[in-house]
């Protein structure tokens, strides 16, 4: 008769510790990863909202009146993905994704200190020009940081998009001209824009 075998319990594993100097890099990497995951979620939501078309369907078979209207005007092209062309829930969804990118990637990496020559506004989403410029910058970032953009893509994004956009956004006379210039005194005010001329008015 065989004797029962006894197993020796394994010692508890040593706790995993991260050096303090590595925590900052880990936090920024995690933030960038979270922003990318959210971006992928937005793309998946967009794809999921598109109507399914059977693979064997012929043009004109759709019973959707909007689809029929789109097919009737093939020269109209695809709808714009620019945030100012969106409305309602689509605008809110796009703004939420843009906000994640601005807060978790753009500001931590490129924000720089607030000063009288470099104002900023925590409520930037209430400034239409800021929303438009930041969204355009985000769209370019998505395209030029993709693997298909090649190795020079990020450099092109910095040179052709980021530098100009930040210079305009944070200029002393930019959209945040009446907003925060000292971090200790947050300020927010949307400046008035020129009123459109009345139809038939004198030039």
CB 71 within 8 A of CB 59: yes
What phi and psi, each to the nearest 5 degrees, are found at residue 44?
Answer: -65, -40
Give the model confidence (pLDDT) of 116-128 as tens digits: 999 999 999 999 9
pLDDT of the residue at 71: 47
| CA dist., res. 77 & res. 114, Å (int) | 42
Nearest to 143 by CA among 89, 96, 81, 100: 81
Using CB atoms within 10 A of its CB, is residue 179 exposed (0-12), middle (13-18) or buried (19+)? buried
- What is the 3 state secondary structure string of 158-180? HHHHHHHHHHHHCCCCCCCCCCE
Nearest to 102 by CA among 136, 64, 79: 136
pLDDT of the residue at 146: 94
pLDDT of the residue at 50: 53
Spatial CB neighbours of 46, under 8 Å, sequence gap ≥ 6? none
Task: Choose between 190 and 3: higher pLDDT.
Answer: 190
Reply yes or no on whether the pLDDT at 30 is more than 90: no
| CA dist., res. 36 & res. 39, Å (int) | 5
Among positive and negative, which fits the CA dihedral 83, 88, 90, 93?
Answer: positive
Residue 111 CA, distance from chain mean position: 15
Give the model confidence (pLDDT) of 36-92 as tens digits: 666 666 665 655 555 554 545 454 454 454 544 444 444 454 478 999 999 999 999
* Residue % of the chain over a pLDDT of 70: 60
């Amino acid at each position: 008769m065989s004797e029962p075998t006894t197993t020796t319990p394994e010692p508890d594993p040593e706790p995993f510790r991260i050096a303090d100097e590595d925590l900052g890099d880990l936090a920024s990497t995690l933030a960038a990863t979270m922003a990318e995951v959210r971006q992928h979620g937005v793309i998946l939501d967009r794809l999921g909202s598109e109507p399914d078309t059977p693979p064997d369907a012929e043009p004109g078979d759709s019973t959707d009146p909007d689809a029929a209207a789109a097919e009737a005007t093939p020269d109209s092209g695809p709808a714009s993905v620019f945030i100012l062309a969106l409305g309602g829930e689509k605008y809110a969804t796009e703004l939420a994704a843009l906000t994640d990118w601005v807060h978790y990637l753009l500001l931590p990496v490129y924000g720089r200190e607030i000063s009288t020559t470099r104002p900023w506004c925590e409520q930037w989403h209430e400034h239409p020009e800021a929303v438009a410029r930041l969204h355009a910058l985000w769209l370019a970032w998505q395209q030029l940081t993709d693997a298909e953009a090649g190795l020079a893509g990020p450099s092109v994004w910095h040179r052709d998009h980021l530098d100009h956009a930040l210079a305009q956004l944070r200029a002393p006379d930019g959209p945040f001209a009446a907003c925060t210039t000292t971090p200790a005194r947050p300020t927010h005010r949307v400046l008035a824009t020129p009123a459109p001329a009345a139809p038939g008015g004198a030039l």
